[in-house]
Amino acid sequence: MTESSLAGSTGAELDYEKVVIVAAAAAHEVDRDARFPHEAVAAMRDNGLLSCSLPTALGGRSTSISDLATMARALGAGCSSAAMVFAMHHTQALSLRWHGAQGDIAELTRTIAAEGALLASATTEISTGGDVRSSGCAVISDGAEVVLEKNAPVISYGEYADYICATARRGPDSPPSDQVLIVCPRSDIELEKTGTWDVLGFRGTCSPGFILRARTVPSNVLPVDYGTISSHTMLPSSHTLWASVWLGIADAAVSKARVQVRAAARRNGGGATDRTAAFADLLVIHQRFEASVAQEIRRYEDFLASGELETTVGFAIALNNLKLAASQAVVDVVSAALAMTGINAYREDHVASMGRLLRDAFGPQLMVSNERIRANNAQLVLAYRGR
């Protein structure tokens, strides 16, 4: 296996480097115009990267979290908007892998794998203040179909997705925490845009608000309660894959800084300069970031290998802490790389420019609020008894 390819359980290789090249070539335009990374997503589909995490038995490749994280990191270095689309898509695809491979929903999962379909999510709601574990809307039976109306403050790339996976109360009489996940095909959805997306970073994720109206078949509701899906799959997969994307952003900043450091050293007759020492310090921060992401990926892989459905309080805290730490570490790395590189990194018309990287680096703390995750941790630690 080459460095730029990964083998799924089928033995077939995923040459993700091709996708990275396509994504990187369009990254500037995607950021400048705040447009969806069509080229990168098409390349993902053509090269099997959208279906790869789905079960082998249903047409996917059962790609591991570790391999998905490797791809997310590489994409993050090339185009962080495309990488975030990749990561968010696989958070939904993995939910189908672990909770949608049996029963009536399995045929829909098989269809999604065959199509190489793009999955988006609608897990937040205006009425609940962004709390993903609470829903105001409900799935309502209407003859042979079910209907749903959800006012979502954000649906990332919702206009471009083939399916939207939405959370809702199980029924109109269910409490807000009794949630299900319903997979809505594009043909069964009406989207009414309620906002715009003109932001500093991750501009290509195209994440305005929408009122989502869906009318679909009852079999598209996953048979597992959303609380289990969230703790087993959505929370850990999103935090590990997001952190991998952000590590990719840090990689790109370090790579740009390395080029400038070496150029300065050559001008100095090959000797070390002040920038060389600053770069050595930068590598310490970067390596700690890399190690923390790798540690939590291993933690999640070990959990999946155990076959357990229920996670521990300690597991949830650890994965929440990964998100918190990674969202700060990416800012630390990119800021330090910009400062040590100097004015060329500050210029938008120079090959060393880090403007997009810096703007994207601040998104992780805000797009999913660190304050909300800290509040969640504050509740969890009350029940935490160690390990």
> Which domains, ranges and CATH numbers included, belong to the chain?
6-115 (1.10.540.10), 119-220 (2.40.110.10), 226-383 (1.20.140.10)
pLDDT tens digit at each of 387 positions of the chain = 233 456 554 445 788 999 999 999 999 999 999 999 999 999 999 999 999 999 999 999 999 999 999 999 999 999 999 999 999 999 999 999 999 999 999 999 999 999 999 999 999 998 887 788 889 999 999 999 999 999 999 999 999 999 999 999 999 999 999 999 999 999 999 999 999 999 999 999 999 999 999 999 999 999 999 999 999 999 999 999 999 999 999 999 999 999 999 988 888 887 777 889 999 999 999 999 999 999 999 999 999 999 999 999 999 999 999 999 999 999 999 999 999 999 999 999 999 899 999 999 999 999 888 888 998 889 888 877 765
Partners of 229 in the β-ladder? none
**Which among 290, 245, 314, 304 is positioned nearest to 94, based on CA atoms?**
304
Instruction: Record the tokens describing residue 279, joined without a space.
Output: 């770069």
Partners of 147 in the β-ladder? 140, 215
pTM above 0.85, yes or no: yes
- Phi and psi, residue 138, nearest 5°: -140, 155
Q: Any residues with CB less than 8 A from the CB of 371 and at least 6 apart, and which? A: none
Q: What is the DSSP string of 94-141?
A: HHHHHHSSSTTHHHHHHHHHHHT--EEEE---GGGTT-TT--S-B-EE
